[in-house]
A and B are shown apart, each in its own frame.
Chain A
């Protein structure tokens, strides 16, 4: 039987809808999430279905969105707070890092914050400096947080449901270019994907690509092309970028001995740099080539003007070239 095909954003909406219907403690809050259904329409239809008490338009104030969510979570609710763009999360950074991430720890397990913060991220949408950024690295050395970045509609649904049911704070970054670009089969039934588990998206023997988000698709496209040249690419989708699935990273690196780490975030201090360290610590004698990283340049953020944005953003051709170089090493 054929499964329904959903876009990435439709999978977000479906997961939210199913979780709200399954558990009355789940509610949605954020800027424009109510009547408008979200600026990207991720919460479309939920206001009409669940009412203003559970689909809450908040004042424009990100720290309150996070902080009020934390309080509601401490009461026993499961808030799903939307940050309109991940670039706008920084006013809430103290609430996320000092409060949500540390509440269980600092109360010696008495209080917890079962909250999910959804935030669209990523470039390639003519969003300029403040609607294009990747923010995961800022939160990716904060024990107490979990950071999820799905690449496919199937993963979106399973991971978002798992995030909402998780009893700790989860930041769920959704790639906004993927929202309508990426479509895929999504089962109608209820399923979850365990947080903290990476996924092999393609099995190969020559070069391993470890990546996440939109870049998974760039890697898949490159792999298709390179297959014609006889190069076999193994692709690991991290899915949870903090804490990392270390075993899966080590296994994927050992599989081919040649590793390309790929992110659209700026390079230094990025999530893939941590993956590089894990590989360096564990796989020295398994490597047949130096670890390579492909990332955005270490400039503040992606410019608005078309040619500048293009220059900043990682491109599929670059991915292809890097894989080929490693294969030939």
Chain B
């Protein structure tokens, strides 16, 4: 347990043991905070009638950011899913690009406003495009790894999805394929306890999503999804295994979805305020900040600087995205097929 900082700290420095510098863990926290603050702003914009839809990341930032830091951000391929704000920020997407995505403007790098928000894609960052029927990205991540194996390229292919997705046929088919061919894939399930309204016990009969790994002959592990250091360690270990030719890994980050499924959902029809309030006590954005303060890494001054900078960036990005043009309506006919010349 992390205890508040007092005269003498009782908290062990966990990040040093993982080989992470103070600057790196501060950068982790900054990305988590970015994701949280952007998410909060999106809800305001939605309720103010400025954007039609929000799909939220809150409660999953720690696992997302920790995972991204566990990969090679210059080289690896990633297939994040629609809640992965923390992941895509840590992977190189900017707040401005995120706002353009949510306002569905022409400059949105994911799809120029063609897809709903959160359907991330960014070729220059080796981030695959994905769709709304869930889990379809899993076989794609396996295909990236297969291609890399054929070409002799040393890289890891990482894919994220929810626990509801772990029931899909594509989850199974992709996991089995990757294991049979010993491919360098990391499957990371962000178990946020809910597939819209359907809770975990109505989604799976096994105790953990990671229990399924053994059925595929692959390594599986669950970790505390509110702890970015646990996510970092698990993903780093899985990546090391992949590089050693030991094949895929199935990870499960145990999180909690703090917000409704989307801005169109009312979660109070299927869960209680008390349950959500209890989960908020374990919110990784708060507990990681407390940890960083307690080990003396996050000072008051630094924290304020971070908050101010993120707020300014969000303000500027919101103005920019709101005023940016939509794609030309005639562009609806573009890029159905390759356009020669």
Contacts and interface: CB of A to CB of B under 8 A. Distances in A.
Interface string B172-206: 11101100110000000000000000000000000
Contact of A112 (B142, B177, B338): B338
Interface string A92-132: 00110011001111111111100000000000000000000
Interface stretch (B128-136, B252-260, B266-274, B279-287): B128-136
Contacts of A186: none
B150 interface: yes
B335 A64 contact: no
A284 B307 CA distance: 69
B112 interface: yes
Interface string B144-173: 111111110000010000000000011011
B128 A63 contact: no
B114 interface: yes
Interface residues of B, number: 46
A107 B129 contact: yes
A158 interface: no
Nearest to A54: B150
A82 to B, nearest CB: 15
A71 B144 contact: yes
Q: Which of A58, A64, A95 has the most CB of B within 10 A?
A: A64
A64 B337 contact: no
A173 interface: no
Nearest to A58: B177
B121 A110 contact: yes
Q: Which of B129, B141, B337 has the most CB of A within 10 A?
A: B337
A94 B133 contact: yes
A155 B141 CA distance: 34
A72 interface: yes
Contacts of B174: 64, 67-68
Contacts of A94: 133, 136, 170
Q: Which of A63, A98, A166 has the most CB of B within 10 A?
A: A63
A77 B150 contact: yes
A112 B339 CA distance: 12
Contacts of A309: none
A105 B146 CA distance: 24
A168 B128 contact: no
A111 B338 contact: no
A95 B335 CA distance: 19
Contact of A63 (B112, B151, B173): B173
A73 B143 CA distance: 8
A171 to B, nearest CB: 14
Given A61-B176, A75-B147, A67 B111 contact: no
A298 B144 CA distance: 41
Contacts of B128: 71, 74, 111
B139 interface: yes
Interface string A64-93: 101111111111110100000000000100
A41 interface: no
B123 A106 contact: no
A205 interface: no
B138 interface: yes
B334 interface: yes
Interface residues of A, number: 44
Interface in B95-119: 109-112, 114-115, 119
B36 interface: no
Contacts of B110: 107
A69 B336 contact: no
Contacts of B337: 104, 144, 146, 168
A63 B143 contact: no
A102 B145 CA distance: 21
B131 A98 contact: yes
A74 B126 CA distance: 10
Q: Which of B114, B140, B169, B180 has the most CB of A within 10 A?
A: B140
B250 to A, nearest CB: 16
A108 B114 contact: yes
B82 interface: no
B29 interface: no
A27 interface: yes
Contacts of B121: 106-107, 110-111
Given A53-B150, A74-B143, A67 B170 contact: yes
A143 interface: yes
A107 B140 contact: no
B77 interface: yes
A307 interface: no
Contact of A107 (B111, B133, B172): B111
Q: Which of B114, B122, B145, B177 has the most CB of A within 10 A?
A: B177
Contact of B136 (A91, A99, A110): A99
B131 A99 contact: yes
Nearest to B335: A109
Given A75-B147, A95-B139, A111-B121, A67 B173 contact: yes
9 contacts: A61-B176, A64-B170, A67-B140, A67-B142, A68-B146, A71-B141, A75-B151, A77-B147, A102-B131
Interface of B: 77, 109-112, 114-115, 119, 121-123, 128-129, 131, 133, 136, 138-151, 157, 169-170, 172-174, 176-177, 180-181, 334-339
Please name the 9 residue pairs, one residue from A and one from B, whose CB atoms are nearest each other, closest first. A71-B143, A67-B139, A75-B147, A64-B173, A71-B140, A108-B112, A72-B147, A72-B143, A68-B143
Given A103-B129, A104-B338, 20 more contacts: A56-B146, A59-B173, A59-B177, A64-B142, A64-B173, A68-B140, A68-B146, A71-B142, A71-B147, A71-B157, A72-B150, A75-B147, A91-B169, A105-B335, A106-B114, A106-B131, A107-B121, A107-B123, A108-B111, A111-B123
